[in-house]
A = this chain, B = another copy of it.
Amino acid sequence: MSHEVLAFGEALLRLQPASDDRLEEAGLFHAYVGGAELNTCYALASLGRDVAWFSVLPENVLGRRVLRHLRASGADVSLVRTAPGRLGTYWVEHGREPRSIEVLYDRKESTVCRVRREDAPWDALKAARIFYVSGITPALSPATRELAFEMAETARAAGVTVATDLNFRSRLWSAGDAAPVLERLARSADIVIATEDDLRTLYGLEGERDDVARRAQERFGSATLVVTCGSDGGVSVRRGSDQVRRCGPFPVSRIDRVGAGDGFTAGFLYATLLGREERALDYGLALAALKHSIPGDTLTTTPAELETILARDSREIRR
């Protein structure tokens, strides 16, 4: 049981009007299973990779729903624990212009918030190739924070590559509270992914985009530092390299942007697992674009489709 990627995080259920109706009035809702690390695992498993997701789910029908959803992708859910309690939910209104997307969290006190040290799959962790945890997990509770750190540090000590996406969520905690915690997480990681906005907001990094990337890499000391820039694509920098790699975005259809960042991470890690680090930014941006066209938090695809998107790349003309 040696996984290519092992991840730790929360599962959520998204409720969203099944039409363009407003949350106040809609009669029918889609229910989607999601969660930052879960989404990344789901996409990687769709691509045929051997991944495992660890969490604590409520021992009720909603917990079983999460397992059922993730299993369909082929991901291993045998490490998941269950406990009495609730599943976090969130409500989303799509937000067509001039409305903005409206997100209402109802995720406090979910079962994973009381995760215990002994719940964690320490052996599997040390045997994995990559350990992934996002910056949302330490925001949930003291218990998830401590465990996220310990898992990251244990993994690293065992020679496992540690990856993180800072994923600052201003509705979960303030920038002031988040900055030192996320910095500690980033310092534990070999691969750090962050949005340009988060790096500027949390750490006051300034200057051109390339400078932000370089300064963040220096600050965290991570082997790879990736800055995602929304509709502007992304840049990456590696330790010891002066060169900043830049990629423009792929064309997108704005069906559902939730989970696009997790799609990016999946694409980046997928390329890393295949030894295509030099193209990891492209793989990430391609999956992020694909996610925009697929309803729900998770992303179903195949290696062949991903390669087709990469091959059909017409971004040159728009850069």
A295 and B19 contact, CB distance less than 8 A: yes
Q: B residues within 8 A CB of A73?
A: 68, 71
B64 and A286 contact, CB distance less than 8 A: no
Number of interface residues of A (CB under 8 A): 60
> Mostly helix, strand, loop or mixed at chain A's interface?
loop
- Closest Cβ neighbor of A17 among chain B residues: B31
Q: Which of B21, B102, B104, B300 contacts A24 (CB 8 A)?
A: B300
CA distance A23 to B73 in the complex (A): 14
Q: B residues within 8 A CB of A201?
A: none
A1 at the interface (CB under 8 A from B): no
A86 at the interface (CB under 8 A from B): yes
Q: B residues within 8 A CB of A309?
A: 98-99
User: What is the oligomeric copy number?
Assistant: 6
A208 at the interface (CB under 8 A from B): no
A302 and B64 contact, CB distance less than 8 A: yes
Q: B residues within 8 A CB of A91?
A: 61-62
B96 and A61 contact, CB distance less than 8 A: no
Would A96 and B24 be within 8 Å (CB), given that A29-B29, A62-B91 are in contact?
Answer: no
Q: B residues within 8 A CB of A74?
A: 71
- Closest Cβ neighbor of A286 among chain B residues: B98
Interface string of A101-133 (1 = CB under 8 A from B): 010101011000000000000000000000000
A312 at the interface (CB under 8 A from B): yes
A316 at the interface (CB under 8 A from B): no
Q: Which of B98, B109, B293 contacts A109 (CB 8 A)?
A: B109
Q: Which of B28, B286, B294 contacts A18 (CB 8 A)?
A: B28
A95 shortest CB reach to chain B, Å: 8
A228 at the interface (CB under 8 A from B): no
Q: Which of B24, B86, B296, B305 contacts A65 (CB 8 A)?
A: B24
CA distance A305 to B23 in the complex (A): 13
B64 and A24 contact, CB distance less than 8 A: yes
- Closest Cβ neighbor of A290 among chain B residues: B98
- Closest Cβ neighbor of A72 among chain B residues: B72
Interface string of A277-311 (1 = CB under 8 A from B): 00000000010011001111000101001001100
Q: Which of B64, B109, B312 contacts A100 (CB 8 A)?
A: B312
Would A69 and B71 be within 8 Å (CB), given that A28-B29, A99-B293, A300-B24 are in contact?
Answer: no
Would A29 and B26 be within 8 Å (CB), given that A293-B97, A293-B98 are in contact?
Answer: no
A255 at the interface (CB under 8 A from B): yes
A193 shortest CB reach to chain B, Å: 20
Q: Which of B20, B28, B253, B289 contacts A28 (CB 8 A)?
A: B28
Q: Which 3 A-B pairs have the closest CB atoms?
A: A96-B253, A72-B72, A96-B293
